[in-house]
Structure 1
Amino acid sequence: METKRGRALAVAGAMMLGLTAFGANAQAQTVYNIAGLADFTGPFADIMKDMTGCRNAVLDWWSEEVGKGQGVALKAKDYDTRYDVAQVASLWPGIRSELNPIAAFGVGGSDANALQQRLPNDKLPLVVATAGYGFNWKSDNWVFNARPTYPHEAAAFYTWMQKKSGSTEPIKLGLISSEVSPAYVDIHNGVEKFAKDNPDVLTVVETVYTEAQPTDLTQQVNRLLRNGATVFQVFNNTASVVAVQRALQSLGKSDVPIVMSAHNGLLSSGRALNDLSQMNGNYEVYGMALPAEQSTTVREFFDKLTNEYKLKANFNSSCFMGLSQALIVARAFESAVEKKGAEGVTGEDVRNALLSTPIPTEKTFGVLPNIQYTNEAPFPTKGLGVNIGTVENGEYKLVEQNVPVPTLNRW
């Protein structure tokens, strides 16, 4: 009996020592918070699980495989803003008070628009998952985008498309937009400005304004076709792509392509239509990696997150946006810790690292090209290029890589 009791005490003591060691190890990593702005109930709810899942998995990976060696860890808490400017502004003071974050993840234009005037006083950088915006195109910014503006990406596509056609006639564009978001307004303003400055490349037939999530655009699409539109741009959301595609199908014009972006791309829109083949002949364009299935460093990293860090997300452009913003913040924080040490890192330190330390493509596993921020703009301004994808015979494929981005005037 005494022997058994002694063994039990020994086991209990070993367990206590293990817990104490675990506690000491956990305390050895200083945890820093990131505010994760998200949209679980608004126009981008359909892609949010993939985006937030991938960005949170990056933080788990970084904290274990990089941060542990530096004595730090990164943790994000997500808040549902419904992609609404007023909701972001309303929640922000409470988020700051609760988390005391060193950075924030943004979904898109609603976050940038709501916070761009507050962030300099808060000394917190916001890294947005999407392309940039003209209303935020200024120096000394605290909002950062991984990619150039949407009009930059669109302009690259139309320049490529015209060259591919072998014609000198300008592309005739039916522009589907909405006034429900400052980001949507900014996109069509920028594309209209590019068309005005480059009439030999692009003509905007008409800009059609829709509600946030349209269901039937047959009448509007028919009018644009009658007026000569040869391509449709839908950079709003997945619901808008589906409505335009169904309108083209009902009008017997499935051969007229739609171009879309990363947040409402081919795979997401094809999933919404329950059949990727319905997206045959359409395009997506953006300045980050495309989710091609062939073996790539991006795929290897995604598989690592899935197998080792419990990531549950689809391998698509929505996930890539989450990967990109999380990797940017993590790498900037990593540089800040290298300079300052594990204790007392601030949002201003992270911003300074973003502006002073290049992020080579190897550091993002090929999700992004080489990234270098300056005070000139909230997005990289040099070496800009985009990738273009399409669907052929029901299969998603990469069409072109590193298509040069033309110079755009501000709008």
Structure 2
Amino acid sequence: MNITRRKAALAIAGAATLPTAITSAFAAAPAKTTTYLVPSLSDFSGPFASVMPLFAGGRDSVGKWWNTEVGSKIGVQLDIKAYDTRYDTAQTASLWPGILAAKPLIGFALGGPDTAALQQRLPNDKVVMILGSASNGFGWRPNQWVLSTRPTFVHELAGFVEWFQKNKAGGTRPVKMALVTTEASPTFADIGRGMQAWAKANPKTIELVEVVYAEVAPADLTLQVRRVLNAGAEAIIAPASPQQAVAVRRAMTALGKNVPIVYSMHNSPTFLDKAMGGMQTCEGDYEAQSGVITSVDPTESKKFYDLMVEKYGLKQGWSSILGAGMGQAILICRAVEAAAKKHGPDKLTGEIMHQTLMENTFTSKELFGFANDISYSIAAPFPVYNPKVNIGQVKGGKMTTVATGVAIPKLERW
């Protein structure tokens, strides 16, 4: 979509300007500008090197937008600098002392390895990192400084299952579902444990017919998919590796069945459509996660993405991975705005940023729909107050948004 800057600003209701309260607080031109380092932990030479440009493109374009449209008005500039961790815990730990010496304000986390390397030292280092992925059960501990924009995978899936049971099964009986995951990854194994615990506690909502533990990159899952379909599965949840998602979809196609598959952000059809044989092969499948659904619908998120493409150098296509990178960046920028308003643009510290994230609610509107409302607490490293999930579905060969802001049920730790 080709839109002028003026039309884009009108279309997204002020996306390229500050909220009124912040604008008035910084009405006068800043006397000076303070530049803060924002480390962007990245993987340009490890297992996710092929998708890192999506994360990086989203992060960088939002940073350019914010520096131009917001930071220049309040006397703050953010220096987003990539550090290649190779998605490796030891490499992250090795790089961190040098990053810390440069006095970062706040940063981008990428995933499990950097969380494992840094989570326990960040409270002492006073640097908060924002993670675009979902959280997990074993990380559900108080006073953490790697904060996810999304609740746990199990929270998101529980919200989807409740929605599916009410809207697709009439809400009068439990729905039969199967889960495909792996024990090779602590996070993905945690999904299995969490979903089993939640299903056991909610027998009127879900009957989990089987949890299939497979290899991260299985050659074929036809036998397993046939088995769970014969057991009556009405949907197959596949939130683990992208390779598993592709294998489940190929098995379903080979069997000639059209039972829907449920994916997460990192293995959404908008990201894996080519590997799956085209979006049309995923007809009826779902994406369930608390970030943005990168659908074809003219959402505020999509309009903001179009602005990034037109004005701020974004070259990557509209996909779930890109959306995660953009969502991280928008939250960081909004947190810096709030902190600068309260404490002054030249007085920000990592401790102030953590305090700001704990004290404020960042609304979905402020985040242009790239996340639901985010409110943190020291009780958990993810949004704990009224978490919600968004749901997309492939219809007519395209990803569409079918539900946003779906309430997630209260979960006990597993």
Interval of TM-score (by shorter of Structure 1 and Structure 2): 0.7 to 0.9
Counterpart for residue 18 of structure 1: none
Counterpart for residue 12 of structure 1: none
Counterpart for residue 169 of structure 2: 165
Q: CA offsets, 1:273-323, max 9 Å, x none? A: 241101111100112332232333212211221111111121122122111
Counterpart for residue 89 of structure 1: 93
SS at match of 1:271: coil
CA distance in 1, matches of 2:233, 2:86: 33
**1:144 partner letter:** L
1:211 to 205, 212, 215: 215
Change (3 A) 1:46 1:104: same
**2:336 partner letter:** F
Map of 1:9-408 to 2, 5 A cutoff? 28-97=32-101, 99-163=102-166, 164-166=168-170, 168-253=172-257, 255-408=258-411
CA distance in 2, matches of 1:361, 1:383: 13
Q: Which moved more, 1:42-51 or 1:103-112?
A: 42-51
SS at match of 2:376: coil
**1:73 partner letter:** Q
1:112 is displaced (CA, Å) by: 2.4
CA distance in 2, matches of 1:198, 1:295: 36
CA distance in 1, matches of 2:275, 2:140: 33
1:154 is displaced (CA, Å) by: 0.2
**1:149 partner letter:** T
1:46 is displaced (CA, Å) by: 4.4
1:383 is displaced (CA, Å) by: 2.9
Bigger Cα Rg: 1
Counterpart for residue 6 of structure 1: none
1:167 is displaced (CA, Å) by: 6.0
SS at match of 1:391: strand
Q: What percent identity do the matched residue pairs reach?
A: 41
1:377 is displaced (CA, Å) by: 1.9
CA distance in 2, matches of 1:257, 1:277: 13
Change (3 A) 1:92 1:36: same
SS at match of 1:101: coil
Change (3 A) 1:81 1:174: farther
Say what the alpha-carbon RMSD is for the aligned residues.
2.3
CA distance in 1, matches of 2:210, 2:400: 30
Change (3 A) 1:345 1:216: same
SS at match of 2:399: strand
Q: CA offsets, 1:139-177, max 9 Å, x none? A: 222121112211111001111112222264433332221
Contact 2:120-2:144 within 8 A present in 1 as well: no
CA distance in 2, matches of 1:195, 1:343: 50
CA distance in 2, matches of 1:78, 1:44: 15
CA distance in 2, matches of 1:305, 1:251: 42
1:120 is displaced (CA, Å) by: 0.9
Contact 1:188-1:207 within 8 A present in 2 as well: yes
CA distance in 2, matches of 1:231, 1:91: 43
1:230 is displaced (CA, Å) by: 3.0
Contact 2:372-2:405 within 8 A present in 1 as well: no
Q: Which moved more, 1:214-223 or 1:398-407?
A: 214-223
Change (3 A) 1:205 1:92: farther
Runs of 5+ unmatched residues, structure 1 = 1-24
Counterpart for residue 23 of structure 2: none
CA distance in 1, matches of 2:204, 2:285: 23
Q: CA offsets, 1:321-343, max 9 Å, x none? A: 11111111111122222233333
Q: Which moved more, 1:370-379 or 1:81-90?
A: 81-90
Q: Which has the higher helix share?
A: 1
SS at match of 2:66: helix
Tell me how many residue pairs correspond in the alignment: 385
Q: CA offsets, 1:244-264, max 9 Å, x none? A: 1111222232x1221011111
**2:321 partner letter:** S
Change (3 A) 1:181 1:79: farther
**1:171 partner letter:** V
Change (3 A) 1:46 1:146: same
Runs of 5+ unmatched residues, structure 2 = 1-28
**1:30 partner letter:** T
Contact 1:54-1:320 within 8 A present in 2 as well: yes
Q: CA offsets, 1:79-112, max 9 Å, x none? A: 3334344443343334334x43222211233332
Q: Structure 2 length normalisation: TM-score?
A: 0.86
Q: Structure 1 length normalisation: TM-score?
A: 0.86
CA distance in 2, matches of 1:197, 1:307: 49
1:267 is displaced (CA, Å) by: 1.0
Change (3 A) 1:133 1:169: same
Q: Which moved more, 1:126-135 or 1:38-47?
A: 38-47
**1:213 partner letter:** A
1:28 is displaced (CA, Å) by: 4.3
